[in-house]
Amino acid sequence: MDLGTLITQVADNYDRNDSMDSAAQVLLRSAGTELAPLARGYTIVGRGGMGQGAYVPWIAVFDPDETETATRGLYVVYLFAADMSTVSLSLNQGVTDARKQWGSKARGRLADQSAAIRERLERSLITGLAETIDLHNTSQLPGDYEAGNLVARTYTIASMLSEQELRADLHRFIQLYQVAIEVRDGLAVSNPAVIVSPGPQPTLESQAEFKPKNSDDYIQTITGRTIRKSRKHETLVKEYGEHLIATGFDANTRVHPRDLVATRDDDEWLIEAKIVRKGNGVNAVREAIGQLLMYRKFVCPNPDGVRMLALFNEPVGEACVELLEELQIASVWQDNDHWVGSPTAHAAGLASAGAA
């Protein structure tokens, strides 16, 4: 279902006095499935209350590396006004945990954090976006959502934008989401008193480091370091691996530190997946090139017979694709519900435009 259609149908049919089995409530709960192709690697959840209908139903987009609940952290959310006349696409913050911790002071604390993050965002990133939203209800949660808003764009249900415009706005907010997380984390160090919704704590993981001595052998050293594991990365690898299996490849993810190895007949592919952060395809490509070349030379049993592919969660730009091709590295990226590949990838049958 299209994004605009889902939003409009919810607004046209929602009544908080209806049962949780009403058409609008069922549609809200289906948002994660219906809209999944629009934000791969993110978790989409729709809710209209628990047991009783909410004044303000919502559809949220969570970065699983940040949060998977609207109670804490930062997230992108469509907030329907209580009278269903508008819906606001908002970069917001968890209000429930703040309310538990700060009580009656929570709303002021949420507003302070919103202002602090917004002040440090580049003006060009938030041009044309509103600092406030009006959910047309004075109850506690709607008021907290209004205080938690960093930036927003509000749509009138009766004159909804085109599907293309809605998707472009969602993509913009998802990119802004990543910037806001970095700004918030910086504030947590420089001005911790203003932070109400801190991010998840890094965990201690083992990460392989390769220290090649010569072309004949290498030393693999496992060192403990504090890192934040990315679930978006894991989702990207999982989904592409499933796609490869469906197209006749054998795919193997148990090849640490490599992300993925795929084989079919006499073809063997070394695949490195990268999340493009804040639209910076150059950094993602740079990292992919370095790891692919290193892993092929020092990890693969038969380096000369291995082909390389860089996998991305979004396009990295024509110039970057051309550079990868020059280095004999194919590339594939996600485009909504399609896998799109560079010429080398197309020729190898690894992916094709329009393939699910």
| Rounded (5°) CA angle 189-278-201 | 35
The answer to whether residues 192 and 91 touch, using CB atoms and an 8 Å cutoff, is no
Report residue 68 CA to chain centroid gap.
11
> Helix or strand or coil: residue 156?
strand
- Rounded CA-CA distance 73/65 in Å is 10
Q: CB neighbours (10 Å) of residue 331? A: 27
Does domain 203-348 fall under CATH 3.40.50.300? My reply is no
Residue 247, both tokens = 């197209």
pLDDT value, residue 202: 53
Domain 3-194 class, CATH top level? alpha beta
- pLDDT above 90 covers a percentage of the chain that reads 61
Tens of pLDDT, residues 269-293: 999 999 888 677 898 999 999 999 9
Tens of pLDDT, residues 307-353: 999 999 888 889 999 999 999 999 999 876 689 998 888 778 887 64
The answer to whether residues 210 and 299 touch, using CB atoms and an 8 Å cutoff, is yes
Q: How confident is the model at residue 201 (pLDDT cuts 50, 70, 90)?
A: low
| Domain extent listing, the chain | 3-194, 203-348
- Rounded CA-CA distance 57/59 in Å is 7
pLDDT value, residue 223: 46
In DSSP notation, 225-260 reads EEE---HHHHHHHHHHHHHHHHTT-EEE--STTSSE
Report residue 321 CA to chain centroid gap.
22
Tens of pLDDT, residues 220-257: 444 444 444 577 888 888 889 888 999 899 998 888 78
Report residue 33 CA to chain centroid gap.
15
Ranges of H-type helices in the chain: 3-13, 23-29, 31-34, 96-102, 106-119, 123-126, 140-148, 163-190, 231-246, 281-298, 318-326, 343-348
- Rounded CA-CA distance 133/88 in Å is 7
Beta bridge partners of 4: none
